[in-house]
Structure 1
């Protein structure tokens, strides 16, 4: 720790140097000053931790220095030296920022004791600061995960009425305007030297950092596509996209810092209301890459228009699968893809990719084995990318749909409805920030709402509304530890459109208002030391 000695008498400063084993105590004398003004300059230049200053000095005395230092450098600890005639007065003055008082001439043991007390206080403050920083990082990580999950939800599901508000609270207003244009590009990490697993975390952080330097851009991860990060950029001007710049950075930095190659598929520019189309077009472009361990960029913007995949078509497919109508589902897949094939090979691949995305959403909804699902997704995507395996793609999609139908039947036939309740609970855990009601969940999982209410209480031990509130409160407590988020923002991020009602529910479940909880959490984390 760095120490500044401030006294207008050089002999006093020399004496202080000799009266302590500074290095052994964990300190080093970084500079000397003959008055408070010089001491302030040294504190700033040397980034000092401690200043030992005399009371009586020319230009700026020790009392004025201590006050200025406390205001300008609140983390610096000040020890004041005083002669006998001033000592009682100075010690009783409660000067702001002063941590200890020593009587001149200073006894070595008293100086050592003061240094140790200051050292312990600094160590305690640093520990609290580390804990506070750790908490902030955890909250930031959770917020980033919520943001990624919401981007995926927008990409894979229908746009909801509350989308604009939630995008605002995630600081993604650029996506809220459906008239804006969006472009995706998909990045796969490949390496012959290291395993992708070893490089995954730094690669993911690198991509997020790059996306953060561009306006209207973000990076996100889709568990259905291993070793891949997806970029999204939004603009009100079709000609203002900086996709090529981002791609160049990704490939340059991946080679420079990770010694890895990247394969990138660039999607078509679409409106913000056509996120599914843009996302699939980027995946389709990527799927046409060579399997070699070399960096590649495949531009999907050169493709012709794709086969139209309407919302009504999706609803019909979902209805067939959830009602166990396998034969009709297989016929629909074959008819759909064969019709798309008559338009172009790329239309076939696009339609297959859209259907694969739909099947993935249903697999997640009914908790199909994650490893099985990811493997199936990857295999199907590889076949779609071959552009020549039409029958194989149709067969694989039909098999995937069949496995989901089997899972749906298992869930609905489980004893006492346990599997249904587990899926409902899982859905709540993942979508707590959305508008959720018992009725909508009952419709979604094809079960009577009153019966679902009874089953939920039986298996979970809480009513549906209490469980939903508890999940939301758990996330609200975490988000309240970030002081940059307003209470109204946290209310929206946890599924409440009214901050007053959110506060009422929070007080009921936690026993404190959001403001009280935040203040107590901040104090416990050492926030006051900042």
Structure 2
């Protein structure tokens, strides 16, 4: 609704104007009345007004002075002049102050309706233009970038059966065309300095933020042809999604290496994954990039490195092995690991090394979910040379089993607090993934609990049901989007995980006692009153 202020010193004229138009059906709301220009200026200073219907011959502050003041202080205000005096000076003043119409009393119903319809069209066009600008600003905002990066991380780490929803959501981040592209992933990180002058204060982990900044700045220069992201499981690494074009990929890697060397004084280790097509293969592409980076400093010959990225354990196999570990089934874990390693070493050394890294990544994922830190000396992505020392099945099994035992023992020692830790981990997962389709069964299975038991435990520990918690997290983000953007309710519903705008509006009204549109309007009026137009 556009807000209208009627300004006339005659009460019966103001009443007549109120009754001549079906304001609500035309998209207008009568915000109030004023008897002269001075009262009107006070109203304009206190609240947001879009349209003013004003008389010209008024006491205290006449129409000409009022129009001059409006033009100076509120240049976007729409003015419709109404007067009973066919005086050229009034018409001239109205034209000078860009009044949208000049109507003579008594005002005919159809003339006023036509004038208001014209103003409404102008305001609609202005709003569309403003909304487009707001969307552009939002897309450039840090919030949008963070959500886009989170979306990419989900694509490279989640299950294939979730990609149908991701394809629908990809349009919000202008990534829908990437689902049909053949791409490669690139992983980069700083190499340890081996020179004698290397200072203990100049280690790669001390330069994570500068590396992050350089990577993002370099990616920006390639506009939308390169997407950059970070994975919290690998804080020292940066990752990129690029079209499968060798020349442009090499040009980007060389530019990145030059900048890192010039500004940070480190050499850059670069890993490149195998080509993949479609969101459903992005996880495999990302894994091969991680593996190639991990093997970069291992001393493995280049051809062996590349072939190591061509074969992988099936995703379901990795999930089963990870589930053994998270449940504390140490013997089942060791048997499965030994079986896969024996099969891999019988096929090729390259496949054997890749299986080692895949199994390590599965262990690391379980440790991350359980919030159990692995020592830096055990992290293959920091110490890829360790992998070359695992040149037999028995050595590899011992290494992986030792890491698994640390996790199992820690889980057992923390058994008294296990439930609380698990609920905190589940809450963090919800906080990070609220925009996606979440349900209790899926979360319970992720943390290896019976859904009924998990539901009861969640309510006991959190003080509210699983659904209540998810809705509160989503609503908190929805309120932020309502206050900070002009995105449609459909987009906000989609971005915050609600199935559709109607359901979102219903839940919002139940929680806040008003519709999302009313909330946005109230927030907008409050903002305008706190920050009056100059």
State TM-score, norm by structure 1. Answer: 0.65
- Verify the 8 A CA contact 2:357 2:380 in the aligned structure 1: no
CA distance in 2, matches of 1:246, 1:299: 22
Partner of 1:170: 173
- Are 2:230 and 1:200 equivalent residues in the alignment? no
What are the equivalent positions in structure 2 for 1:279-294 lying under 5 Å apart?
279-290=286-297
- Are 2:362 and 1:361 equivalent residues in the alignment? no
CA distance in 2, matches of 1:513, 1:448: 37
CA distance in 1, matches of 2:252, 2:143: 25
What is the DSSP-based 3-state SS (H/G/I as helix, E as strand, rest coil) of the residue aligned with 1:162? helix
Partner of 1:378: 379
- Verify the 8 A CA contact 2:376 2:382 in the aligned structure 1: no
Q: Give a deviation string over 1:21-61, Cα, whole Å, max 9, x none.
A: xxxxxxxxxxxxxxxxxxxxxxxxxxxxxxxxxxxxxxxxx
CA distance in 1, matches of 2:447, 2:311: 30
Partner of 1:464: 466
Partner of 2:274: 268
Change (3 A) 1:202 1:403: same
Q: Paired residue for 1:347, among 322, 339, 351? A: 351
- Shift in Å, 1:254: 2.6
- Are 2:217 and 1:243 equivalent residues in the alignment? no
**Equivalences, count:** 397
Change (3 A) 1:459 1:329: same
- Verify the 8 A CA contact 2:298 2:388 in the aligned structure 1: no
Q: Paired residue for 2:259, among 253, 256, 262? A: 253
- Verify the 8 A CA contact 2:478 2:496 in the aligned structure 1: yes
- Verify the 8 A CA contact 1:522 1:528 in the aligned structure 2: no
Q: Give a deviation string over 1:49-80, Cα, whole Å, max 9, x none.
A: xxxxxxxxxxxxxxxxxxxxxxxxxxxxxxxx
- Comparing 454-463 and 212-221, the one that deviates more: 212-221
- Verify the 8 A CA contact 2:189 2:269 in the aligned structure 1: yes
- Verify the 8 A CA contact 1:251 1:262 in the aligned structure 2: yes
What is the DSSP-based 3-state SS (H/G/I as helix, E as strand, rest coil) of the residue aligned with 1:436? coil
CA distance in 2, matches of 1:174, 1:138: 17
Change (3 A) 1:501 1:329: same
- Verify the 8 A CA contact 1:156 1:361 in the aligned structure 2: no
- Shift in Å, 1:400: 2.4
- Verify the 8 A CA contact 1:156 1:358 in the aligned structure 2: no
- Verify the 8 A CA contact 1:186 1:286 in the aligned structure 2: yes
Structure 1: stretches of 5+ with no match in the other structure: 1-86, 101-132
CA distance in 2, matches of 1:298, 1:478: 49
Q: Give a deviation string over 1:433-467, Cα, whole Å, max 9, x none.
A: 22122232233334343333322222211111111
Partner of 2:438: 436
What are the equivalent positions in structure 2 for 1:110-509 lying under 5 Å apart?
140-159=141-160, 160=162, 161-177=164-180, 180-190=181-191, 196=204, 199-212=207-220, 213-234=222-243, 238-239=244-245, 242-272=248-278, 273-290=280-297, 302-303=306-307, 306-368=310-372, 372-373=373-374, 375=376, 378-379=379-380, 382-383=383-384, 386-390=387-391, 392-409=395-412, 413-414=415-416, 417-483=419-485, 485-509=487-511
Change (3 A) 1:199 1:517: farther
- Comparing 303-312 and 470-479, the one that deviates more: 303-312
- Comparing 141-150 and 467-476, the one that deviates more: 141-150
- Verify the 8 A CA contact 2:308 2:353 in the aligned structure 1: no
CA distance in 2, matches of 1:220, 1:198: 19
Structure 2: stretches of 5+ with no match in the other structure: 1-60, 75-133
- Verify the 8 A CA contact 1:476 1:491 in the aligned structure 2: yes
- Verify the 8 A CA contact 1:225 1:377 in the aligned structure 2: no
What is the DSSP-based 3-state SS (H/G/I as helix, E as strand, rest coil) of the residue aligned with 2:141? helix
Q: Give a deviation string over 1:271-312, Cα, whole Å, max 9, x none.
A: 3333233223222332344499xxxx9799843663331133
- Verify the 8 A CA contact 1:438 1:449 in the aligned structure 2: yes
- Shift in Å, 1:231: 0.8
CA RMSD in angstroms comes to 3.7
What is the DSSP-based 3-state SS (H/G/I as helix, E as strand, rest coil) of the residue aligned with 1:187? strand
Partner of 1:94: 68
- Shift in Å, 1:199: 4.1
- Verify the 8 A CA contact 1:269 1:301 in the aligned structure 2: no
- Verify the 8 A CA contact 2:482 2:520 in the aligned structure 1: yes
What is the DSSP-based 3-state SS (H/G/I as helix, E as strand, rest coil) of the residue aligned with 2:239? strand
- Comparing 254-263 and 165-174, the one that deviates more: 254-263
What is the DSSP-based 3-state SS (H/G/I as helix, E as strand, rest coil) of the residue aligned with 1:496? coil
Q: Give a deviation string over 1:169-206, Cα, whole Å, max 9, x none.
A: 233223434xx322011111357585546643343133
- Verify the 8 A CA contact 1:432 1:468 in the aligned structure 2: yes
- Shift in Å, 1:501: 0.8
What is the DSSP-based 3-state SS (H/G/I as helix, E as strand, rest coil) of the residue aligned with 1:414? helix
Partner of 1:70: none
Q: Give a deviation string over 1:379-437, Cα, whole Å, max 9, x none.
A: 465246643423554333222223333455466x4369433433322322222222122
- Verify the 8 A CA contact 2:294 2:380 in the aligned structure 1: no
What is the DSSP-based 3-state SS (H/G/I as helix, E as strand, rest coil) of the residue aligned with 1:225? coil
Q: Give a deviation string over 1:100-155, Cα, whole Å, max 9, x none.
A: 9xxxxxxxxxxxxxxxxxxxxxxxxxxxxxxxx9xx89993344333333322322
CA distance in 2, matches of 1:324, 1:502: 40
- Comparing 439-448 and 245-254, the one that deviates more: 439-448
